[in-house]
Chain A
Amino acid sequence: MSEAILLIEDSPAQAAVYKAYLEGEGYSVVMAGSGEEGLRALEERAVAAVLLDLQLPGIGGFEVLERLRRRSSRIPVVVVTDYGSAENASEAVRLGAADFVTKPFDRGRLKVTIGNAIRQGQLATMVDKLQEKFSRDRFHRFVGGSAPMQAVYRVIESAAPSRATVFITGESGTGKELCAEAIHRESPRHDGPFIAVNCAALPRDLIESEIFGHVKGAFTGAVRQRDGAASLADGGTLFLDEIGEMDLELQAKLLRFVQTGQFQRVGSGEMIKVDVRIVCATNRDPLEQVRQGRFREDLYYRLHVIPIHLPPLRDRGEDVIDIARQFLAKSADEEGKAFVRFSAEAEQMLRDYAWPGNVRELENVVRNVVVLHDGESVLPAMFPPAVARRTLSNDVGEPFAKTEAKSATSPDEPAVSRAGTEPPVQAMTVLPLWEVERQAIESAIERFGGNVLRAAAALEISPSTIYRKRQAWEQRRDATATTADD
């Protein structure tokens, strides 16, 4: 089908000429004799470009351009101007016209100008779509447009249409259930059920019944048959959270279920088959659990088909502000408070704090502030002491929770102190500033066993800063060595 051009021209003779030119180039032409008619036509049908005479009865060409701009229209407009009216052409371009042609013009000139304008419009539309796809600050229930989250959104979109198992990892409070929900909502199963089971929230002997159900009399208190999450999720998605907490015996049953799609209710020999997509999550390092014999290796490889790692809040840049603002609006509304913003200093504190409890901790902090204080602006003094003192700013959490709970101040891990609170190695010697900085950074990295991420968080700089500085020091060392050789 040929591309359509909307021609807005009040002179029938000129309109006939332009129409013939455009049709001769393979376009179909929609005619409008006034600005009003042209705007109506744009509401009724899609066109690839508009050829617009500036001098029109009723609303003129400039007004048409202005209205298209207010509508955020991406349709390229070529304006027809008179010889000697350069100011009209530049005003039209300022108002968003893609190009202009000056009367008299021939068919060849119009062909080139309209062709370029259409390509320009296509490019603009493509850029819009890409930006929409790759620069989202919301995705399902996620808030945040940081680069790490854009990557997460893209993986979710790519993984969703498949039936493959998704394995979500990430620290506590990073939104693993939101991620599972987003996968379900994006998938062809979105009209089916989404059933979530937290394997850590139930006593070990009840988890099997929770997942697979039981028959009457299966155990004390099983007074009637009950469907488990696997049955309830038939046709939809089963989300097994904290799967690292599942005992080995149940892991074997889960493995059979993942392999065959079949399971037995507790106390029953009958095999039940369901159509379920499994998404699981853990805040532990699953491979480490496999190494420790706490997680079956065969189950790990069955489940670990599409891994998604959710970044901690401290690695999500300005997302912390976007999320905090959303929580503030929600909490203020629920609590009937007047809070509408964070002060600039308070926002800086939100950025500086390491948020070991991630988004969940942020939500609690905001709720705490809203409940205990009044005002329109959240001020630094309103934050709970832990955040206000930033004492946790170095306690950046762990990429994965350790199998045994460990305090940040346990003997085998040095209590973290901020760079600068301890004397530098050669405090009494005056060193070049870059050398002091180098020693502080290397010292922090050493303290965290070579973990640059944690060292960066403790130093309150980004990991990329450390890598950049290390590169610069190497270059400086190489240059010094070269000079010495010379």
Chain B
Amino acid sequence: MNRGHTSAPSSPRPGETEKVIDDSVLSQVIKDVGATQATTVLLLFAGELERRIGEVLEAASGPDVEALRRVAHGAKGSASTFGAPRVAAAARRLEEACKSAAPAVEIASLAQRLIEHLQPAATEVRSRLSVLEEADHV
């Protein structure tokens, strides 16, 4: 389910993982939170991935690199918790670039790359959510 965001294709680049969602991690989260909470938690995560797109765009267009670092850090934490390795890796690279005061062009490029991974991850999470809901109905 696409919520209307457009994004560039997020095919992996050299060094990037193939998986948009690591099902072993996500399945563990779903198991640990329990069936009744799983839908809520996945909905929140999908929404958070989508919200991050706007946050990265806003922070990257402003002068506050620290604000961009905080957004990247937040994206990294959630992505690693739920098993979104491409988002986690892209967020980590952006966070490190911000911390090391990398050239603006490099930071902008990494921000762009993170955005490219956020929407596909959200889409994948929502597809897992549909599967869960269907299983509930069955």
Contact = CB atoms under 8 A, between A and B. Distances in A.
Interface of A: 10-14, 16-17, 20-21, 24, 53, 55, 57, 80, 82-84, 103-104, 106-108
A106 B77 contact: no
A20 B28 CA distance: 13
Q: Is the interface of B mostly helix, strand, loop or mixed?
A: helix
Given A13-B44, A103-B81, A104-B81, A21 B28 contact: no
A12 B40 CA distance: 10
A61 to B, nearest CB: 12
Interface size grouping (class) on chain B = 20 to 34
Given A13-B82, A104-B25, 17 more contacts: A13-B41, A13-B78, A13-B81, A14-B78, A16-B37, A16-B41, A17-B33, A17-B81, A24-B34, A55-B70, A55-B74, A80-B77, A84-B92, A103-B81, A104-B82, A106-B29, A106-B32
B80 interface: yes
Nearest to A111: B32
Contact of A11 (B25, B77, B92): B77
Interface in B30-49: 32-34, 37, 40-41, 44-45, 47-48
B44 A12 contact: yes
Contacts of B82: 13, 17, 104
Interface in B79-134: 80-83, 92
20 contacts: A11-B78, A12-B44, A13-B44, A13-B45, A13-B48, A13-B78, A14-B77, A14-B78, A14-B81, A17-B41, A20-B34, A20-B37, A20-B41, A21-B32, A55-B77, A57-B70, A104-B81, A106-B29, A107-B32, A108-B32
B8 to A, nearest CB: 24
Given A11-B48, A24-B32, A24-B34, A104 B40 contact: no
Interface string B40-81: 110011011000000000000000000000100110111011
Q: Which 9 A-B pairs have the closest CB atoms?
A: A20-B33, A107-B32, A13-B44, A13-B45, A20-B37, A13-B48, A16-B41, A104-B81, A104-B80
Given A103-B80, A106-B28, A11 B74 contact: yes
Contact of A10 (B29, B74, B80): B74
B2 to A, nearest CB: 19
Given A11-B78, A12-B44, A14-B81, A21 B73 contact: no
Residue from A12, A13, A24 with most neighbouring chain B CB atoms (10 Å): A13
B131 to A, nearest CB: 18
A24 B80 contact: no
Contacts of B73: 55, 82
Contacts of B25: 104
Contacts of A108: 32
Given A20-B34, A20-B37, A24-B34, A82 B28 contact: no
A13 B47 CA distance: 8
Nearest to B81: A104
Given A104-B25, A104-B80, A24 B33 contact: yes
Nearest to A60: B70
B80 to A, nearest CB: 5
Contacts of B40: 16
Contacts of A13: 41, 44-45, 47-48, 78, 81-82
A330 B136 CA distance: 78
B35 to A, nearest CB: 11
A148 B112 CA distance: 73
Nearest to A109: B32
A84 B77 CA distance: 12
A26 to B, nearest CB: 13
B28 A103 contact: no
A35 B81 CA distance: 21
Nearest to A108: B32
A21 B74 CA distance: 20
B59 to A, nearest CB: 13
B63 to A, nearest CB: 18
A349 B47 CA distance: 75
Contacts of B29: 17, 106
Nearest to B33: A20
B52 to A, nearest CB: 10
A35 B76 CA distance: 20
A24 B73 CA distance: 27
A14 B76 CA distance: 11
A247 to B, nearest CB: 83
A57 to B, nearest CB: 7
B78 A82 contact: no
Contacts of B37: 16, 20
B77 A103 contact: yes
A60 B26 CA distance: 28
A82 B32 contact: no
Contacts of B81: 13-14, 17, 103-104
Nearest to A107: B32
A16 B44 CA distance: 8
Residue from B41, B77, B80 with most neighbouring chain A CB atoms (10 Å): B77
Contacts of B70: 55, 57
B62 to A, nearest CB: 16
Contacts of A107: 32-33
